[in-house]
Each structure stands twice: as structure tokens, then as C-alpha cells.
Amino acid sequence: MRASKWSNPVGGMFIFGWLNEKINTKKMLVDVIERYGVAYVPGASFFVDGTGWNTMRLNFSFPTEEQILAGVERLSKAIKEEAKNIR
């Protein structure tokens, strides 16, 4: 399974993340919000070629540093759980 990667923003309000190709971030969004209390923007909308189903945009401009750390920790748990289910 390929490891996650993310952009290193120079400006703006979001980082962009790529997950394992088999993970569909749009399908897992509602579960992540309800079970883990974290929201993101599924990234497929930003790909004109119909790809990007394994991507997400994460906002870093509004939450505090503590909230970002907690959110990343929860999101990590959600992604690991999703990865277990796709094997």
C-alpha cells in the first residue's frame, strides 16, 4: 500500500493530500465527519480528467494549531481504518 503524501503550501489556505489509490475520499467523508469529527474537501472535484478520488484538501487557516494536531490525529485513525477495509 502506498503511503500518503501532501503538498507543502507556500501560501493559501489548504494543503492537498493523496492517499492510497484504492481509498475514495468522497465515499468516506460522511463517516469521517460523524465518527471522527473531522471534515475535509474531497479532491476529485479539482481534477478535470475524472481522477483524484483518493485526494483531499485540508484547511489550515482557521483552526488553531492544537485543533489541527487533533484533527490530523483523528483523520489518521480514519484513514487507517478505511485502509484496513479495502484489503
pLDDT of res. 10:
87
Residues 55, 17, 31, 41, CA torsion sign = negative
| Angle value at C-alpha 64, between 52 and 6, nearest 5 degrees | 25
| Angle value at C-alpha 9, between 25 and 66, nearest 5 degrees | 75
Say whether pLDDT at 11 is over 90: no
* pTM to 2 decimal places: 0.86
- Taking residue 49's Cβ as centre, other Cβ atoms within 10 Å add up to 5
5 strand-pairing partners: 18
For the chain, domains (ranges, CATH) are: 5-86 (3.90.1150.10)
Say whether pLDDT at 7 is over 60: yes
pLDDT of res. 52:
96
pLDDT tens-digit map of 22-63: 999 999 999 999 999 999 999 999 999 989 999 999 999 988
Cβ neighbours for 22, distance < 8 A, ≥ 6 positions apart = 1, 54, 86
